[in-house]
Amino acid sequence: MDTPAAPRDSLRSPAWAARIFILNDHEPVRRGLRDLLENDGFVIAGESGSAAEARHLIPILEPDLAVLDDRLPDGTGIEVCRDLRASAPGVRCLILTGWDEQHAVRAAVLAGASGYVLKQVSDNSELLDGIRSAAAGSSLLRPGVRERIAESLYAASSASWLDSLTERERNVLAFMARGLTNQQIGQDLMVADEVVAACVSSVLQKLGFRRRSQLIPVPIPRAWELLH
């Protein structure tokens, strides 16, 4: 699906009701977000609390926008967004996050998302405007921000202070920073998609984007503060 962006002056018009998919593992949060969006004229195309289920449902339902929670029991919104770039390239994605602004923008860049919205926004109109703009095809990242963050992420892929990353994970991070999909990374590194997906998950966990497991070393404390 490749839904054309709605005209700017129609973003608040009921004539164009954007179809939204909600991914969040907390049912009360999903219900509250669903009610908020439906009251504002959006159509809820579907919802899920699982990254695996969302990967299956979203390409079938083909919403205009998927609002993806930052951390999930079985993954992250970053990983889901990266997968959707191959399985449902016409679906735009927005990361719903509780991270600070700097961490959030890096997450959006690594995901290839339209941007992010913060969970702790005090004004619902800000959240609705962000979702409306992303659904219509607009980027929520200021001009030049994506390129600047991508450069810092690329530089980080060879930084000595990230010595918890393996050589393959450093290569994967560098490709992620350049905007390559998992499939493109696999082709360049000549490895299976499953290997790339596992590396992406490990990189995100070591950089503090993913819930920690006992199989992965603890992320380097305050590592991202070294990026500018």
Query: With 50 as the cut, is the pLDDT of residue 213 above it?
Result: no
Nearest to 99 by CA among 125, 75, 117, 85: 117
Residue 115 has φ and ψ, to the nearest 5°, of 155, -155
Q: At what angle do helices 27-39 and 124-135 cross, to 10 degrees?
A: 80
**What domains sit in the chain, N to C, each tagged with a CATH number?**
8-135 (3.40.50.2300), 145-226 (1.10.10.10)
**Contact at 8 Å (CB) between 202 and 169?**
yes
Q: Residue with structure tokens 């669903």? A: 34
Supply the pLDDT for residue 152.
87
pLDDT in tens, 3-61: 444 444 444 444 468 999 999 999 999 999 999 999 999 999 999 999 999 999 999 99
Nearest to 201 by CA among 187, 220, 186, 182: 182
**Contact at 8 Å (CB) between 16 and 10?**
yes
Q: How far apart are CA 90 and CA 81, in angstroms?
A: 12
pLDDT in tens, 64-102: 999 999 989 999 999 999 999 999 999 999 999 888 888
Residue 211 pLDDT class (50, 70, 90 cuts):
low
Nearest to 78 by CA among 216, 227, 201, 187: 201
